[in-house]
Amino acid sequence: MSQGSLKVICFEQILRIRVIQLNGTVKKINLDLKLDPVNYCLFDDVSGVKRLYLIKIYPLQKLFILINYIRTTNSSNLSTYKDWGDVIDLNGNNLSSTLFGPSYIDPTGHWVQSSIFQSINKKLGFLRLDAVNQGNLQWTRWQQYLVNDFGKLSPLNMTSGNIQTNRNETSSIIKVLLTVDSGYALVHDRLFTLYELNSQNTSFGSLYCDVASVGVGHICTISVRYPNTTNNTVFDTEYVKINFLSSGAVLSSSILSDLPKLTGVSDYGWRVKTMPFGGYILDSISLASQQIAYYTYAYYENNTQVISGPHDPFITNGFVAKALLHDNTFLLASPYTNDMNTSWSLFTIPLIKILADRDHGYGNILIDQIIPYINANVDSYTTVLNITFYDPVVLSIGSLSIYKASDNSIRQKVSATMDEFCKVDPDGKTISIIVIGSTFNEFGESYYVTMDNNFVKSKDYNEPLEEIVEEVLKYNSSNNLALSDFYFIDILTEVLYYLVTKALPLEENAICSARLTTEATKNVSTLSKNDQKIYFNSLLNEISSKLPVRRERLKIFRDP
C-alpha cells in the first residue's frame, strides 16, 4: 500500500494505552476516539530510514494525557490532513479537543510530522514546532501550550514565534532543548555558533541535546559527515559533543569517532541520549532483515565504549517504542503478543551506572546527602531538612515542597527566596530548610519531599540544577504529641494563625488562640450574619484539617 510517495503499513484500528505507575501497577485505558483509519498506519519517511506514526502520546500533568493525531476528509490527499490534540484523563474520558492547524507538506509533496516537546516541569505544558511553506518562503513556527485543571489546552499568546529557514540549505538544523529552569532553547545553526569546522563539503546531520547529568549546563551532540582525507569520494562520520551553559558559553567539546560498525546501520544513523548516572548511549535500528533489530551501546564521559553487557540486538516492534527511565533502565517494546493480540510486553534493559558511587537514591547525582535520610522517622521535633551537594551552590527561585502521602496534600512549601526558611551553610554546599512544627505532626502518616528544578544554582557557573522528583525522598511520622510549636499562614483566607505552646503530654489540654488580620476583620464585618456563619464554619474546618485537630475542639469568640 502507498500513501502519496510514502510506503505505508496499516494496523488494526484499536487504541490501547497502558500507564505504568511508580509503584509498578499498570493502569489500563481502552479508548474509542473514532479516529480516521489513516492514524493507525505506519509511514516510512522520504529517506526510508525513519518511521512515522500519526498517533503520538504524551503524559502531561499527573492526571492528563495528550493524544496527537490527524483528521482528514480524504486520506489519499495529504493537503486535507489537519493536526489535532485530545486531552484525556486516566479513566479514558475525553476532556478537550484542539485543532493545531494544517499538516505540513514539503515542496516535494511529502507529509512532514510536527513535533511536541514537554517542559521539564509537566505543569508548564509543552512547546509545539511545525513547519510552514508559502511560496519561496519556509519557516518553523513554535507555540507553547498549557493544560488547565479541567484538561483544556490553551496557547500562550506571548510564547510563540517563527524562525525563517532557507529551503536550499539541506543541512539546516532546528532543535528544541529543555532547560533546567523549565524553559526551552531553540538551537538553530543560523543563529549562533557552538562549534565550527573549516572543512569543505562538510554536512551536519542529526542533533541531540540533553541536560548534562554530570557537571552543569547542557550537552548537544552533532553528527558531522566530511570527505576522507585520502579519498574524497568516501565520507567519514564523527559525532561532536559540546557542553555549554544556558548563556551559550561553551565549557568543552570533544569528538566521538569510535562508532560501532554494524551491517544495516550507517555511521550517520546513531541517536545519542545522555544517561542519568553519567555517560551516554548510542542507539539505532537495522531494517536489513524482516525483523527490526534494535542496538544500544553505552559510552563513558570520555567517549570510550563501555565493554559490558550483551551487544546482540533486541527485536522490537514496528513502532520502536522506547524510554530511558530515571533509574537508568531502558524500556523497549517487545514484538511478541499472545494469540489474541490482547497482551504485550516490554524489555527492561539495565544500563550501566557510570557514576554509581554518586547514586544515593535521590535520582540526582549532584546531591551527596540529605538529612533526615530516606525512609527516616520524623515528628514535630524535626525542625531542619539539610541537603548537601557535591559542589558549592547558591539559592535560586524554585521551591521545596513536603506532601502528605495519603492524599498528596501540601504540608509545607518553601521558596528558595524565603530567607527566613532557607540558608546556605558556611561550607557553601549544604542548604538548610526550616521545617515548621505542624508539618510532620500526624502519627502514622507518610510524607514525601520534592525539590523543583532551579531551587539552587551552581555557585561557580550560575547554572540551575535539577530537581528531586516525587516518590523518592520519603519519611514516616512517629509523632506522639497532641500539639506542638508551629507557625501557619493561610493566604487563601487572608488569616494569620500564630499558635505557640509547649509540647504537652497526650493527657493534657492546650489552649491556643488565633486572631483575624485587620484586613480580614474588615471584610468579614461586611457580610451578613448567615454569611459570617458560613465563613467561620469553613475556616474552622480548614484549620481542623491542616493542624490537624478535632473540629469540635475549635470555637469562635467575638471581642465585646
pLDDT at residue 414, rounded to an integer: 95
Q: Report yes or no: 428 and 377 within 8 Å, Cβ to Cβ.
A: no
Residue with cell 491542616: 546
Sequence-separated (6 or more) residues with CB below 8 Å from residue 313: 286, 293, 294, 295
pLDDT at residue 487, rounded to an integer: 33
Helix (H, G, I), strand (E, B) or coil at 262: strand
pLDDT at residue 194, rounded to an integer: 47
pLDDT at residue 378, rounded to an integer: 94
Residue with cell 548510542: 282
In 505-533, which positions are buried (b, 16+ CB within 10 angstroms) versus exposed (e)?
Answer: eeeeeeeeeeebeeebeeebeeeeeeeee
pLDDT at residue 535, rounded to an integer: 83
Q: Among candidates 274, 179, 157, which has minimal Cα distance to 187?
A: 179
pLDDT at residue 89, rounded to an integer: 93
Q: Please report the DSSP string for 211-238 in residue order.
A: E-SSSSSEEEEEEEEEE-SS-TTSEEEE
Low-confidence ranges of the chain (pLDDT < 50): 1-5, 167-171, 191-192, 194, 310, 481-508
**Total-model pTM:** 0.75
Alpha carbons 445 and 235: distance in angstroms, whole number: 63
Residue with cell 475556616: 539
Q: Report yes or no: 126 and 145 within 8 Å, Cβ to Cβ.
A: yes
Alpha carbons 216 and 235: distance in angstroms, whole number: 34
> Measured in Å, how far apart are the chain's first and last C-alpha atoms?
86
Q: What angle do CA 348, 350, 353 make, to 5 degrees?
A: 155
pLDDT at residue 392, rounded to an integer: 97
Sequence-separated (6 or more) residues with CB below 8 Å from residue 389: 366, 367, 368, 429, 430, 431, 456, 465
Q: Among candidates 347, 345, 319, which has minimal Cα distance to 18?
A: 345
Residue with cell 506571548: 158
Alpha carbons 256 and 51: distance in angstroms, whole number: 26
Distance of CA 248 to the CA centre of its chain: 22
Please give, one letter per residue, the 3-state secondary structure of 155-218: EEEEEEEEEEECCCCCCCCEEEEECCCCCEEEEECCCCCCCCCCCCCCEEEEEEEEECCCCCCE
User: What are the two backbone dihedrals, phi and then psi, of residue 12, each rounded to the nearest 5 degrees?
Assistant: -60, 140
Residue 82 host element (H or E): strand 82-89
Alpha carbons 159 and 167: distance in angstroms, whole number: 25
Long-range contacts of 364-373 (CB under 8 A, 24+ apart): 364/466, 364/467, 364/468, 365/213, 365/214, 365/276, 365/277, 365/278, 366/390, 366/391, 366/465, 366/466, 367/468, 368/429, 370/473, 372/475
How many CA atoms within 13 Å lie on the side-chain side of 291? 10
Neighbour tally for 175: CB within 10 Å: 18
